[in-house]
Amino acid sequence: MFSGSSTAAGRPLEAAGAGQKVEVTFEQQEGGGEVVALRYLTWTEGLGWCCQKTIRVGGEQLDELHRAVTVARHRYRRQRAEAGAPSAPAQVIQLPSLS
């Protein structure tokens, strides 16, 4: 169903603990199309990064996946804020002065 060809769609995301990450890649289908592959990897001493799970998402599902991840991110941040956890500082961009 899927060929071995894949290309990275961005840098890996570090997961909750050290030694874990999520990669997002494009995979070529045998029929000529592409799907997005989400790969959960763990670090194993002596072996390196090992893929534990792969979820393939068709292009028509990406908007719904984005919506679901956005909702989960907002809920997670709200729960942390309600628990009193410090939030990440805002990035301030220095604008040029007009004088």
Annotated domain spans of the chain: 2-82
Q: What angle do CA 55, 60, 62 make, to 5 degrees?
A: 55
Question: What CATH number should be reported for the domain whose range is 2-82?
Answer: 3.10.450
Which pLDDT does position 1 carry in this prediction? 46
Question: Where does the pLDDT of residue 95 fall: very low under 50, low under 70, confident under 90, or very high at 90 and above?
Answer: confident
Tens of pLDDT, residue by residue over 8-55, are: 665 555 555 689 999 999 999 888 889 999 999 999 999 999 999 999
Q: What angle do CA 66, 41, 5 make, to 5 degrees?
A: 75
Tokens of 91: 């990035």
Q: What is the dihedral of CA 38, 44, 47, 49, to 10 degrees?
A: 20
How far out from the chain centre does Cα 60 lie?
18
Tens of pLDDT, residue by residue over 49-81, are: 999 999 999 999 999 999 999 999 999 999 999
How far apart are the C-alpha atoms of 63 and 88, rounded to whole Å? 27
